[in-house]
A and B are shown apart, each in its own frame.
Chain A
Amino acid sequence: QKEVEQDPGPLSVPEGAIVSLNCTYSNSAFQYFMWYRQYSRKGPELLMYTYSSGNKEDGRFTAQVDKSSKYISLFIRDSQPSDSATYLCATGGPSNTGKLIFGQGTTLQVKP
């Protein structure tokens, strides 16, 4: 079993739709949770990070963590064609080794 599971998609939505991206993780010791966006042939770009259960909002993006069910989500409101990319969830901690464990990534296409 992978430590972080993520549906690879692809996910195709019309412009303006609300997008929901999800991951599950297996290790309850994980302390921090991130979402990265990766455009084709580019490095991952940090979108959001959070340490605790609950919601964190930044513009059109909301990250949600439920530690009791080991479930993390990213919601994108009013999706735009420029949001078309691969979205990677990642988790890590509690050690100081800096090891991030990534999901497989979900490919999102937002159609105009």
Chain B
Amino acid sequence: ETGVTQSPTHLIKTRGQQVTLRCSSQSGHNTVSWYQQALGQGPQFIFQYYREEENGRGNFPPRFSGLQFPNYSSELNVNALELDDSALYLCASSLDRGHADTQYFGPGTRLTVL
């Protein structure tokens, strides 16, 4: 059974640029959630995708957007990058949206915005 994978591992961008992060969910899981983890803080919920539809969103501006594909993999897109967007971006998959309590995380993508 393959776990949650994310790419790339690290990324450096400059302010104003756009970035796309990718996530492959664990085999058999149809729900993907994205979190932002600033240094020294707990993860903060960005949004969740269930069967290719957004299923809940946290307190993040519209420049954070996402997609989920038919194979349940997902992308997080961030436009007009700001310095405060520097963080570890985590993807978590769960068996179903009704099993949100057992979310399994990937290793994360560390984004640095200069």
A residues near B (Cβ < 8 Å) are: 4, 6, 8, 32, 34, 36, 41-46, 49, 51, 88, 90, 92-93, 95-105
CA distance A7 to B100 in the complex (A): 25
Task: Kindly provide the distance from the CB of A15 to the nearest chain B CB, expressed in whole angstroms.
Answer: 26
The answer, among B4, B44, B103, for a CB contact under 8 Å with A98, is B103
Instruction: Decide: B55 and A43 in contact? CB cutoff 8 A.
Output: no
B98 lies within 8 A of chain A by Cβ: yes
CA distance A84 to B6 in the complex (A): 24
Instruction: Decide: B42 and A43 in contact? CB cutoff 8 A.
Output: no
Task: Kindly provide the distance from the CB of B95 to the nearest chain A CB, expressed in whole angstroms.
Answer: 11
The answer, among B42, B50, B102, for a CB contact under 8 Å with A88, is B42
B66 lies within 8 A of chain A by Cβ: no
B residues near A (Cβ < 8 Å) are: 4, 6, 31, 33, 35, 40-45, 48, 50, 55-56, 58, 90, 92, 94, 97-98, 100-108, 110
Instruction: Decide: A99 and B48 in contact? CB cutoff 8 A.
Output: yes
A43 closest partner in B (C-beta): B105
CA distance A57 to B7 in the complex (A): 35
CA distance A110 to B24 in the complex (A): 34
Task: Kindly provide the distance from the CB of A42 to the nearest chain B CB, expressed in whole angstroms.
Answer: 6
Residues of B near A42 (CB, < 8 A) are 107-108
The answer, among A46, A88, A98, A100, for a CB contact under 8 Å with B55, is A98
Residues of A near B108 (CB, < 8 A) are 42-43
Residues of A near B6 (CB, < 8 A) are 43
Most B C-beta atoms less than 10 A away, residue of A4, A6, A99: A99
Instruction: Decide: A98 and B31 in contact? CB cutoff 8 A.
Output: yes
Given that A99-B56, A102-B42 are known contacts, is A44 also in contact with B105, CB under 8 Å in the complex?
A: yes
Most A C-beta atoms less than 10 A away, residue of B56, B100, B101, B103: B101
Instruction: Decide: A104 and B42 in contact? CB cutoff 8 A.
Output: yes
Given that A32-B101, A46-B102, A96-B100 are known contacts, is A101 also in contact with B45, CB under 8 Å in the complex?
A: yes
